[in-house]
Amino acid sequence: DAGVIQSPRHEVTEMGQEVTLRCKPISGHNSLFWYRQTMMRGLELLIYFNNNVPIDDSGMPEDRFSAKMPNASFSTLKIQPSEPRDSAVYFCASSLLWNMGLAGINEQFFGPGTRLTVL
Amino acid sequence: EDQVTQSPEALRLQEGESSSLNCSYTVSGLRGLFWYRQDPGKGPEFLFTLYSAGEEKEKERLKATLTKKESFLHITAPKPEDSATYLCAVQGGFKGGATNKLIFGTGTLLAVQP
């Protein structure tokens, strides 16, 4: 059974370039999360979607970051323009909420991550 | 504000030397506390969910327990393959709208030497 799939696994780009990270959640899951992990700040939630709808994007650093989920099996995180301080590992996670909001318990399953280096 | 603090930051054990990792939390209305294991270069791997104080769960050499203020991950007779970073996360209560955010601690880096 396939887990969360992310691509690319590694990305090296130059400052100012556009970067697009991709995620395929576990089939049947209805929530999707984008995280960023650095040594200094640990694991930070950037944005999450329920049923393809963005619910909370308060963790998105600034307008250079955007995320979309056009359907239940695909999401993108875009950085434009990229900066050296964006260098980090970006994780996508998905979960299945049994009762959206009131009683859902959120066991999230993570992908392998994309290691982004901005020169 | 919901907060998770893990201690120690790093722990070095000899193979077979049992110990515990701590996760202290403050959250408005705990709905779930989660333990994850993360190996270098990989994503966090789900281990346990605990829902209420007094609950315990076990998996091989790991046992997680929960009180109203903290959780412990007990490692009994660890082996070198247990070496990893262990992350704790909490899911808080309903705050005027559906929320399934997890707040993560910074983790404990465990090294088990043969």
Which pLDDT band holds residue B29 (cuts at 50, 70, 90)? confident
Q: In this predicted structure, what is the pLDDT of residue B80?
A: 97
Which pLDDT band holds residue B100 (cuts at 50, 70, 90)? confident
What residues contact B55, with CB distance under 8 A and at least 6 apart?
Answer: B65, B66
Q: Kindly report the nearest CA distance between residue A111 and chain B, in angstroms.
A: 6
Is the pLDDT score of B51 beyond 80? yes
The total of other beta-carbon atoms located within 10 Å of residue A27's CB is: 10
Q: Kindly report the nearest CA distance between residue B17 and chain A, in angstroms.
A: 28
Using a CB-CB cut-off of 8 Å, the residues of chain A touching B87 are 43
What is the DSSP pairing of strand A114-118 with strand A10-13? parallel
The answer to whether A95 contacts chain B (CB < 8 Å) is yes
Is the pLDDT score of B98 beyond 50? no
Is the pLDDT score of B95 beyond 90? no
Which residues lie across from A44 on neighbouring strands?
Answer: A36
The answer to whether A58 contacts chain B (CB < 8 Å) is no
Of residues B7, B14, B8, B19, the one with CA closest to residue B79 = B14
Least confident of A64-73, A88-97, B32-41, B90-99: B90-99
Is the pLDDT score of A70 beyond 80? yes
Average pLDDT over residues B62-78: 97
Helix (H) or strand (E) holding A92: strand A88-95
Residues of chain B with a CB closer than 8 angstroms to some CB in chain A? 31-32, 34, 36, 41-46, 49, 51, 87, 91, 94, 97-102, 104-107
Q: In this predicted structure, what is the pLDDT of residue B30?
A: 85
Using a CB-CB cut-off of 8 Å, the residues of chain A touching B98 are 50, 55, 100-102, 104
Query: Between A50, A93, A110, which is nearest B98 by CB?
Result: A50
Q: Kindly report the nearest CA distance between residue B95 and chain A, in angstroms.
A: 10
CA dihedral sign of residues B84, A37, B48, B35: positive
Structure confidence by residue, pLDDT tens digits, B15-27: 999 999 999 999 8
Is the pLDDT score of B96 beyond 60? no
Is the pLDDT score of B93 beyond 70? no
CA–CA distance, A47 with A32 (Å, rounded to integer): 9
CB pairs under 8 A between A and B: 66
Cβ(B35)–Cβ(A107) below 8 Å: no
CA–CA distance, A38 with A44 (Å, rounded to integer): 9
Using a CB-CB cut-off of 8 Å, the residues of chain B touching A105 are 31-32, 49, 51, 91
Q: In this predicted structure, what is the pLDDT of residue B91?
A: 86
CB contact under 8 A, B102 and A55: no
